[in-house]
């Protein structure tokens, strides 16, 4: 996910070089499909995995070797996930727990998180969310093997916008200055945060990500600063907060604009004074973290509307870094597309499809409202459907003055519009030209379907509908 041009958010799994952990991860879920999906994802990341269909089977686990973490369903036959969490806490077994459930609710998630769970994810879950939660679990349990974001394959492209971003990254990375990354969803803000951390003096320390939009209001203080055993009902043990987990490293506060206004003062104090207290503890801890924040919201407008503290805004806005949307750097699309094709082929272990000129043109004629994340998903879907053949992309057409019918060449004065018969005639003439150029070869490399960027079956249907015959093809004059 990175080379030098396009910025990718949380869209590809190969960009997260988590190191193989000596201790396995246990997955407890009564749904065999979920177990298999999680196992496949984790093994691809280099983890050892143990699967259990019930909490009782896990409890009877003969091997007492330590675990990296526990991925646990809430609703289980017999002993529920929450009950297993309570039993483990009462017996002094400390295993970081990540809950997966299809029956999520705020009260349930609050109960689980207060009891020490690392994360509470609802099904269907995003692969990146689960991998981020595992990273938090590993760092929170003080594992020596942490994701230090040493990869550099997430930035791909050659646009001036990307080169400008890279220059700014080079300037600010060696410092400890706070960085505020601004940009639309899917533009690659998390990738930039990882790149800054990787190039900083803290690169050998943890990079901890907090998605501020996903934390229930009741858990913000515990999530950021941690809590001590007995601080509130359900606090069965001490819990490390994100500031403590990131000590010496970098704390990435994603979606910073979503923090409730009444909780922003406590965050501001931790940033300004570099001190905080865990919930239920009167001892003050020191925070040595580098802050990188990101948002797709306009924080100035939020300040003006009274939804974001002005002093917190200025504390975060030390080094603003704005990421351009993909529609403003379409010259990066070809490199990004090839990059995503290679990644998809590697991940799916399938035959490499062909990226045709017509296919590339369709990608560059689209304005990508979902930015690089959307491009990645479109490429992955096309690779699946291509079956090793030519890639075809079903994208809406962008209508603009530059490509309007009024600009199409004609023999006489240009009309303000084209009638349906005129449009059909132009399509017919264009098809004949392409068929003549390819010698009426429909399928395969350099066939008419590939040049036009359509499926062979679609092209054959059009030829039949128009009643085209090979003898109708215009003859070349030699």
Residue-level pLDDT, tens digit, the chain, 478 residues: 333 233 333 333 334 444 444 578 899 999 888 898 899 888 887 788 899 999 888 887 755 667 888 999 888 888 888 888 888 887 777 788 888 887 655 566 656 665 667 777 777 777 877 887 787 676 554 333 333 333 345 788 888 889 899 999 999 999 999 999 999 999 999 999 999 999 999 999 999 999 998 888 888 888 888 877 766 666 667 778 889 889 999 999 999 999 999 889 989 999 999 988 888 887 888 889 999 999 999 999 999 999 999 999 999 999 999 999 999 999 899 999 999 999 999 888 888 888 888 888 889 889 999 999 999 999 999 999 988 888 888 787 554 333 444 444 444 455 566 777 777 788 888 888 888 888 888 877 677 877 777 777 778 878 877 888 776 555 544 3
The span from the CA of 368 to the CA of 365, in Å, is 9
- Are 360 and 337 in contact, with CB atoms under 8 Å apart? yes
- Joined together, the tokens standing for residue 433 give 């030209």
The span from the CA of 57 to the CA of 119, in Å, is 23
- Are 364 and 330 in contact, with CB atoms under 8 Å apart? yes
The span from the CA of 128 to the CA of 122, in Å, is 13
The span from the CA of 15 to the CA of 159, in Å, is 21
- Joined together, the tokens standing for residue 236 give 């069965």
Q: Which residues on neighbouring strands pair with residue 72, listed in sequence order?
A: 28, 99
In the chain, what is the greatest distance between 2 CA atoms, to the nearest angstrom?
A: 92
Torsion of CA 20, 25, 31, 33, to 10 degrees: 10
Confidence (pTM): 0.60
- Joined together, the tokens standing for residue 48 give 């050892």
Q: Which of 246, 322, 259 is nearest to 288 (CA)?
A: 246
Torsion of CA 106, 112, 113, 115, to 10 degrees: 140
């Amino acid at each position: 996910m990175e080379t030098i041009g396009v910025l990718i958010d949380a869209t590809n799994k190969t960009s997260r070089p988590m190191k193989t952990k000596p201790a396995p991860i246990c997955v407890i879920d009564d749904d065999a499909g979920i177990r298999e999906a999680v196992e496949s994802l984790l093994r691809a990341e280099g983890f050892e995995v143990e699967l259990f269909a019930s909490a009782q089977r896990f409890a009877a686990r003969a091997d007492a070797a330590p675990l990296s973490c526990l991925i646990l369903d809430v609703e289980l036959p017999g002993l529920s996930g929450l009950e297993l969490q309570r039993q483990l806490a009462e017996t002094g077994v400390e295993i970081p727990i990540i809950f997966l459930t299809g029956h999520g609710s705020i009260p349930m998630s609050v109960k689980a998180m207060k009891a020490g769970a690392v994360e509470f994810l609802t099904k269907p879950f995003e692969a990146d969310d689960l991998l981020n939660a595992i990273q938090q679990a590993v760092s929170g349990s003080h594992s020596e093997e942490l994701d230090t974001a040493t990869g550099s394959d997430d930035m791909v492209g050659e646009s001036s916008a990307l080169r400008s971003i890279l220059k700014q990254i080079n300037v600010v990375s060696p410092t400890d200055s706070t960085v505020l990354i601004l940009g639309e969803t899917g533009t690659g803000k998390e990738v930039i945060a990882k790149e800054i951390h990787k190039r900083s003096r803290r690169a050998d320390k943890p990079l901890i990500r907090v998605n501020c939009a996903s934390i229930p209001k009741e858990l913000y203080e515990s999530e950021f600063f941690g809590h001590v055993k007995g601080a509130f009902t359900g606090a069965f043990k001490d819990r490390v907060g994100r500031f403590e987990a990131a000590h010496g490293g970098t704390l990435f506060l994603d979606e910073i604009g979503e923090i409730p206004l009444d909780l922003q003062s406590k965050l501001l104090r931790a940033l300004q004074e570099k001190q905080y207290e865990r919930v239920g503890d009167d001892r003050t801890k020191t925070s040595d973290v580098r802050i990188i924040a990101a948002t797709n919201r306009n924080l100035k407008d939020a300040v003006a509307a009274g939804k974001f503290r002005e002093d917190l805004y200025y504390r975060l806005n030390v080094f603003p870094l704005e990421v351009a949307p993909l529609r403003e750097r379409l010259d990066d699309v070809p490199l990004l597309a090839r990059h995503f094709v290679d990644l998809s082929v590697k991940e799916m272990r399938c035959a490499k499809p062909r990226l045709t000129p017509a296919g590339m043109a369709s990608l560059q004629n689209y304005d990508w409202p979902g930015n690089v994340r959307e491009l990645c998903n479109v490429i992955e879907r096309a690779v699946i459907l291509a079956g090793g053949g030519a890639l075809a992309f079903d994208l809406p057409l962008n209508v603009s003055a530059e490509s309007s019918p009024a600009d199409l060449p004609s023999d006489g004065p240009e009309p303000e519009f084209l009638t349906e018969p005129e449009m059909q005639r132009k399509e017919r003439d264009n098809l004949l030209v392409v068929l003549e150029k390819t010698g009426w070869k429909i399928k395969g490399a350099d066939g008419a379907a590939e040049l036009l960027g359509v499926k062979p079956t679609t092209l054959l249907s059009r030829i039949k509908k128009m009643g085209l015959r090979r003898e109708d093809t215009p003859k070349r004059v030699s």
